[in-house]
Chains A and B, each alone.
Chain A
Amino acid sequence: MTAEPLGATDRKVGRTTGRRSGSSKRLARIDAAVGLSFAAPAVIGVLVLGLVPFGYVIWYSLHDWSPLIGEFNWIGLDNFTRLIADDTVWSSFLTTFKYAALLMVLNITLALGLAVLLNQKLRGTTTFRAFFFSPVIVSAVAWVLVWNYLVAANGGINGALATIGIQGPNWLRDPTWALVTVVVIQVFKGVGMNMILFLAALQNVPAELKEAARIDGARPSRVFRSITLPLISPTILLVVMITTIGAMDVFVPIQILTQGGPGRSTTVISYLLYRTAFEQQDFGYASAIGVVLFVVVLVLAALQWSSRKRWVHDEV
């Protein structure tokens, strides 16, 4: 057998590879076209419905715009200078952070607890799951309106408390309770969705890992802390991020339940933005608030995303 020169083989291979490569490129182009056609509606949607309006908002934030009078004048960064000196804006941001923090703690704790409970092989879990998930599919306005009656000073909750000799607070008119009440109402509205996400994550935790830990003598709390939590940490990150972003632009419960009061105790930043734009018709300034809100949410999301390497399992 005569050995074929190495170069010839290489050239053959090369020619063969070249033909295959050309075909692969065509296939790749077709794949890309198909992929783009699927992605295009979403991309165009984001561009047209998200980025373009946001570009407009930045432009408007540089103007004094009173649409009822018809004034639209360039004022540069004056709206941002005004914003920096506006205590109402910063107190609204502080209220928003309080709301978001409280919502996050209560929502995630409760959702995870319920998911762990529902992950057991117990009777009635399906009913229990439906019970907690049903508020997710109820209209937000309807949900809040019903709660508005329940938490009225003379509403159902205080009526129930009165039957056992407890005088309940004026939930929505007491500055101490108003924000907490709104948070609790929102927790019950949204906990079902997070519960389902956690439940799905829990059901993907390999049973053999937990079994191995138990054989090694780990108690249930240690198994949960050292096996389960790390393995569902990507879901925890997801839930933390979507809950944070959702909390930062909360509007419906504030508008219906408290209108930002009493005082400004529940005036979150998105509600202040709404009032500034649509009630006071100060669109330029409201746009500046919107830009700052966007930056704040972006920074928060970036911080959460960048922190994942420290605590999210399988992240690099």
Chain B
Amino acid sequence: MTGSMNRRRFLAAAASLSAGAMVLAACSGGDDAGGGGDAPDGPVELRMVMWSANEGHHEIFNQIADAYIAENPDLVSAVSFEPLTGSGYVNALTTQIAGGDAPDLAWVSEANAAQFVQSGVLYNLQPTFSETEGYEIDDLLDGAIDVWSADGEIYGYPFSNSPFGVYVNNDLLAAAGQPNPRDLMASGEWTWDTAMEIAAAVADGTSTTGFQPSDDPFTNWNSALGAMWMSWGAAPWSEDGTECTFDSPEMVEFFDWFHSQIYDTGAVAEPGAEFDFASGQVGLRLSQLSSSTGLGDDFAWDFVPMPDGPAGTVPVVGQGGVGVVARGDNPQVAADFLAYFTNPENSALLAQFFPPPRESLLTVETLSAAAPALTEEQIQGTVIDQALVGVTKVGHVNMSEIADPVRVGLDALWVPEGDAATVMPAICEAISDSLAG
């Protein structure tokens, strides 16, 4: 199938489908060979798509790109950074790729990494990284590139390797007469159970909520709960991704516990309720370093490591990666640019906003620039110490097929009478074919 045909097919279908299979554009055109590995005749323009429209991010990206162009005027004439914001980022990216309008480089989250790597969307970066002088590939943290690798080759670089921690509204906890989490950490009592006891007390009789996961658990289950169930030693599927383990005792126990925090203790808000930590409406919120940028002095807050669960202490990181799209026009040039974009010097620049996967850059000094609102103690204890040993949140090669059936299945749990022991096996039944591939 030629790139041109790809483009015509896709654009026509996309237009038609989105309008209920009746009306919209079928514009086509352009001979998009794509995926060429041949050397271009002259300098090319590169395009990177991302989910960030942050001006500070783009300023750094442009600074790095300008330096690269100055050093390689025969290779690249311009680099554009195209934000695709909103919850439909992956859809928009895959739509561009499918439509023969593939970007040269793209951000991908850890949840979709396996799918993008295994389906051949991403270009093999190993040769370029290995041949780039001073790249220091051994500086990358153990495990940080696991989900970006296949058969010993690297297909993406996790420019953001950010541990999950718990933001604490100290004022709300104090008003509810609850202990400070740091005191509980010191006494070894900082567990998910005590955290939820605190959260329930905060929410009791007030217009606030006690605990808020990192995303809406009722619509984005993996993003919201994926970092938590690891503390139960639970996982949604086997390591090779072929067997469903939603019905494992650990997973059932976790979901039973989480269900009781909503409907028995009231520690977690029921589905459909809206609260905002930055507005002082939440006692405890699971999130990452980047959330500190929206916090001011309106209330006293802290950022502490995740509590211990039945499986002990399990630090978890969420990753944002960047890879070269194999079907882009100039993957080899894009790989060379990416090697420059993520070399030690430029990783230090990127670390102004994103916790880096390079051990040498995991310092309080570096990360203070990324999160000026955080104290040294918070950066060291909640970010650096956790990043050094953190495991990456899971994804799956068929994530796009699995996500919706699981959401639908979990909706049977998100009612007062919901029973995890009944719901979890039903979810396994619904996704077993997708897991088997």
Residues in A lying within 8 Å of B, measured CB to CB: 48-50, 52-54, 56-57, 60, 65, 67-70, 72, 149, 152-155, 170-173, 248-249, 251, 259-264, 270, 273-275, 277-281, 283, 286-287, 289-291, 293-294, 297
Bound form: Cα–Cα A151–B407 in Å? 21
Closest residue of chain A to B407 (Cβ to Cβ) is A261
Among candidates A152, A259, A287, residue contacting B17 with C-beta atoms closer than 8 Å: A287
Q: Which 6 A-B pairs have the closest CB atoms?
A: A290-B21, A67-B98, A249-B20, A53-B16, A56-B12, A153-B272
Question: Whole-angstrom distance from the CB of A55 to the nearest CB of chain B?
Answer: 8
- A293 near B18 (CB under 8 angstroms)? no
Identify which of A70, A173, A259, A281 gathers the most chain B CB atoms within 10 Å of its CB: A70
List 5 A-B residue pairs with CB atoms under 8 Å apart, sorted by A's residue number: A56-B26, A60-B9, A279-B400, A287-B13, A294-B21
- A261 near B408 (CB under 8 angstroms)? yes
Interface class of chain B by DSSP = loop
Is B97 close to A, CB under 8 A? yes
Closest residue of chain A to B220 (Cβ to Cβ) is A259
Which residues of chain A have C-beta atoms less than 8 A from B6's C-beta? 67, 70
- B1 near A72 (CB under 8 angstroms)? yes
Bound form: Cα–Cα A281–B92 in Å? 11
Bound form: Cα–Cα A287–B403 in Å? 21
Question: Whole-angstrom distance from the CB of A229 to the nearest CB of chain B?
Answer: 31
Which residues of chain A have C-beta atoms less than 8 A from B411's C-beta? 261-263
Bound form: Cα–Cα A249–B400 in Å? 23
Bound form: Cα–Cα A277–B408 in Å? 18
Question: Whole-angstrom distance from the CB of A125 to the nearest CB of chain B?
Answer: 36
Chain B: interface residue total (CB-CB under 8 A) = 50
Which residues of chain B have C-beta atoms less than 8 A from A261's C-beta? 218-219, 407-408, 411
Which residues of chain B have C-beta atoms less than 8 A from A289's C-beta? 21
Is B95 close to A, CB under 8 A? yes
- B270 near A173 (CB under 8 angstroms)? yes
Bound form: Cα–Cα A152–B268 in Å? 15
A261-B407, A262-B414, A290-B20 given; A281·B98 CB < 8 A: yes
Bound form: Cα–Cα A57–B10 in Å? 10
- A68 near B97 (CB under 8 angstroms)? yes
Which residues of chain A have C-beta atoms less than 8 A from B296's C-beta? none
- B17 near A277 (CB under 8 angstroms)? yes
A170-B270, A173-B272 given; A49·B20 CB < 8 A: no
A72-B9, A173-B270 given; A294·B22 CB < 8 A: yes
- B20 near A293 (CB under 8 angstroms)? yes
Among candidates A251, A260, A273, A275, residue contacting B21 with C-beta atoms closer than 8 Å: A273
Which residues of chain B have C-beta atoms less than 8 A from A286's C-beta? 13, 17
A67-B10, A153-B271 given; A57·B21 CB < 8 A: yes
